[in-house]
Amino acid sequence: MIPLSHPRYRSLVTRERLAQYAKEGIVTLEGLTAHGRGEAFDYLLGERTTDSAIVAERTAAALLLRARHPVISVNGNTAALAAPEIAALQKASGALVEVNLFHRTEERVRLIENLLRKAGSEVFSGEAEQLLPLPHDRAWCRRDGMYAADVVLVPLEDGDRCGVLMDMGKTVIAIDLNPLSRTARTATLTIVDELTRALPRITGACQDLSAADQDRLIASLNNNYLLSDAIREMTGRLSHALDREVPPGHV
């Protein structure tokens, strides 16, 4: 009997949840396809957190703790997949939580903010302005929120906005299962791990990193190494993929 905690069941439950949130207007159809891309890369990773991702998660905690004005940027997929985990990270890191959407309507912003609040986040929701130099709706953010941030955590980001935030001189932390994406390659720090595995580890590290650990992690940050290691993990697993029996539950 395959336990219900098996990754295969977890991913089916997650898909059902996303489909439900899509019906409610929180997740877009484009968001569903982005999730599928993430699942494919997670499959290559073996649906587990690698050692280099753990280092990246601890480094992310150090950057958030050392920030003057840290902001967690939340889109529809992030809210649907991880609203309680975002609330826990906000408490541990002191970061602002701000909604930023590619497909932006006032109604969607309100739905996502409500979902986050219900899960325990304090959402920063002042007047949004078109402040980022982007030709689409992700340009909208708050002057005292993301626009003023020195460190921004961008789970499931698109490459354009990541590049713009970097050009503005911000430290950008991405969570992206695809180590080849423009976001992954542009950000200051990329965590190549699944969102709901990554967030609790960042929160845990926020609670127990010493000042000396924070200094050491920030000083040794090397995003190219982290991405290369993720690619090594994937190619290593692929080269031996047919040596293993089909694991139970992989239908």
User: Applying CB under 6 A, which residues contact ligand ATP?
Assistant: 34-35, 37-38, 41, 81, 156, 158-159, 175-178, 181-183, 194-195
Min dist. Cβ of residue 241 to ligand ATP (A): 20
Asked if 209 contacts 217 with a C-beta cutoff of 8 angstroms, the reply is: yes
Closer to ligand ATP by Cβ: residue 167 or 208 = 167
Cβ-proximal residue to ligand ATP, closest one: 38
Q: How is residue 51 annotated by DSSP?
A: H
Task: Give the bridge partners for 98, in sequence order.
Answer: 73
Sign of the four-CA dihedral 169, 173, 175, 178 = positive
Closer to ligand ATP by Cβ: residue 102 or 124 = 102
Locate all alpha helices (DSSP H) within the chain, ordered by sequence. 7-24, 29-45, 51-66, 76-93, 106-118, 159-167, 182-186, 195-208, 211-219, 223-239
Min dist. Cβ of residue 77 to ligand ATP (A): 6
Closer to ligand ATP by Cβ: residue 37 or 48 = 37
Cα–Cα distance, 83 to 247 (Å, whole number): 31
Min dist. Cβ of residue 193 to ligand ATP (A): 7
What DSSP string describes 192-224? -S-HHHHHHHHHHHHHH--HHHHHHHHHT--HH
Min dist. Cβ of residue 86 to ligand ATP (A): 13
| Biggest CA-to-CA distance, the chain | 56
Cα–Cα distance, 5 to 20 (Å, whole number): 21
Min dist. Cβ of residue 172 to ligand ATP (A): 12
Closer to ligand ATP by Cβ: residue 98 or 194 = 194
Min dist. Cβ of residue 182 to ligand ATP (A): 3
Terminus-to-terminus CA distance in the chain, angstroms? 14
Closer to ligand ATP by Cβ: residue 36 or 248 = 36
Closer to ligand ATP by Cβ: residue 9 or 248 = 9
Task: Give the bridge partners for 152, in sequence order.
Answer: 71, 172
Closer to ligand ATP by Cβ: residue 40 or 211 = 40
Min dist. Cβ of residue 38 to ligand ATP (A): 2
